[in-house]
Structure 1
Amino acid sequence: MSVIQDFIAKSRQILDTIEAQQAQIQQAAQWFADSILAGRMVHVFGSGHSRIMVEEMWPRYGSFAGFNPIVELSLTFHNLVVGANGQRQAMFLENVPGFAERILRNFDLSEADTALVISSSGTNVVPVEMAELFQKRGIKVVALVTSLHSAASASKRADGRKLTDFADLILDTGAPAGDAMVYVPNLDTPVAPGSTVGGATLINCLKAETARLLTEAGHPPKVLSAAVVVGTQRAVELFEGAYDEHAHRIAKMYEKVGIQSYVSENKAIH
């Protein structure tokens, strides 16, 4: 078997692992749909390369409003690698206690919200604290992890707790411990991680099931769609409508956040 065939074969195994989680995916999607139908949002957070899954959920073609993508650049800006804004700093900040609270300070959260927190290892401080804070505020948390990798990894928190300790429901990417799946002859370290394959599949299963539930509830989502599928005019209408809906939903997250003022008290300004 070639290394290409090996990666493809292991990716098929990942898909089998995800298919076995259909009941969990359906439950998570029901929670997400309930939040969206209530006019609230699903908060989606990931640090490091888990940012990929956040952006896979929204906004991109085939997705729709109702998800709040929380992407902190200091934790996810990998392009420079070294120097200012380099990867070393991002990996350091990912384990700074209290950072999650500073991020969530920006949002007026509600128990009608739900959260999807993504971390392959489930052991870095910021995503673990993020899930903990969501739960403390009565928000259901879905954790997307790589179960084998998380089980084999030590938590960076002083108390040893992991993301899965603060999850109401756990989804598994199906990737192996260490993530990389392919061994190349004469190379002692594996290459080609699998968590992105599994994570992206889970995200889109959740997205599809949530769209089904919203449609059956009489509120079909405005899906970002390509002109080659729906025509240019319809594509523009869908994009504008979806972006405006996102604006209306996210406005609620800021309207009453933190210290109140005469603006938040709805007093007339002349």
Structure 2
Amino acid sequence: MAENKNGSYTQQYLDRAKQIISVVEKQETIIQEVAQLFANSILEGRMVHLFGSGHSRMMVEEMWPRYGSFPGFNPIVELSVSFHNLVVGSNGQRQAMFLENVAGLAKRILRNFDITDQDTALIISSSGCNVLPIEMAEEFQKKKVKVVALVSSLHLKGSSSKRTDGKKLVDFADYVLDTGAPLGDAMIKIEALDTPVAPGSTLGGVLLINTIKAEIANILVQNGKTPKVLSSGKIIGEQKAIDLFESAYDEHAHNMAKLYQNLGNRN
């Protein structure tokens, strides 16, 4: 086996991970601003809409619902652009990547919800160049909804928009968060392999999602709204954990009901 002069590939990736942590750390001020924006929606009894296609779907699920998370978020996940496990054949990756760049799909998705200007939105796209997430942000802004874009800035700057007008996700965002991942996302070059491996955008995205989540939780508590956090029975006891899950899901259902009760009346 050839000796790797730059150290083990494990160590290389961990070193790159530390750089990503540094990028996220430098965004603390905007993280707090975004958290306040989202908390305001939740305190008003409205929702923070989450959207990501492709692997960006993972950031949606990282925010809600999972352990350590709480109601207040509407995870918009379209299986047609995020159901990847079959890879080929029916519902395969080729179709998903095609649909990500079909104009007009975003508007049809959002037609399902009664959205107000008290809502907010988080749109996740590493490149910020596919049509669907760009149009999602554009449609939200048309409804006077503040939009936060979560992108990989270096990848976005080095990529071309799939829209005919050349606009990218950040052109329809009020706030922009950067995962710190490099152009092309993959961070490690293997000797004798032309293509790098081991991406970093998910790592940076998870850091951003959870720092925002923690800040939101604090703001809610400070404003007298204790969030119903999905928690492990190993920490709080099995029955309390079950009760929290049930009440959190009920709260989510009640929040979602508001998105349907006046549907069509504002159009």
User: Aligned match of 1:160 in 154, 159, 166?
Assistant: 166
Alpha-carbon distance in structure 2 between the residues aligned to 1:92 and 1:256: 33
Whether 2:216 is the aligned partner of 1:210: answer yes
SS in structure 2 at match of 1:117: strand
The offset of 1:145, in angstroms, is 0.1
Cα deviation code 1:176-213 (max 9, x no counterpart) = 00000001111110000000000011000010000000
Whether 2:18 is the aligned partner of 1:12: answer yes
The corresponding residue for 1:177 is 183
Alpha-carbon distance in structure 1 between the residues aligned to 2:117 and 2:265: 20
The offset of 1:237, in angstroms, is 1.0
Whether 2:224 is the aligned partner of 1:197: answer no
Alpha-carbon distance in structure 2 between the residues aligned to 1:36 and 1:23: 20
Whether 2:38 is the aligned partner of 1:32: answer yes
Whether 2:63 is the aligned partner of 1:57: answer yes
Q: Which moved more, 1:250-259 or 1:98-107?
A: 250-259
The corresponding residue for 2:256 is 250
The corresponding residue for 2:3 is none
Alpha-carbon distance in structure 2 between the residues aligned to 1:186 and 1:220: 54
In the alignment, structure 2 segments of 5+ residues that lack a partner are 1-6
The offset of 1:259, in angstroms, is 6.0
Q: Which amino acid aligns with 1:113?
A: D
The offset of 1:43, in angstroms, is 0.1
Alpha-carbon distance in structure 2 between the residues aligned to 1:160 and 1:220: 43
The offset of 1:111, in angstroms, is 0.3
The corresponding residue for 2:127 is 121
Alpha-carbon distance in structure 2 between the residues aligned to 1:8 and 1:107: 42
SS in structure 2 at match of 1:69: strand
Superposition RMSD on alpha carbons, in Å? 0.8
**TM norm structure 2:** 0.97
The offset of 1:233, in angstroms, is 1.1
Alpha-carbon distance in structure 2 between the residues aligned to 1:197 and 1:97: 29
Alignment of 1:36-185 (within 5 A): 36-185=42-191
The offset of 1:220, in angstroms, is 1.2
The corresponding residue for 2:4 is none
In the alignment, structure 1 segments of 5+ residues that lack a partner are 261-270
Identity %: 65
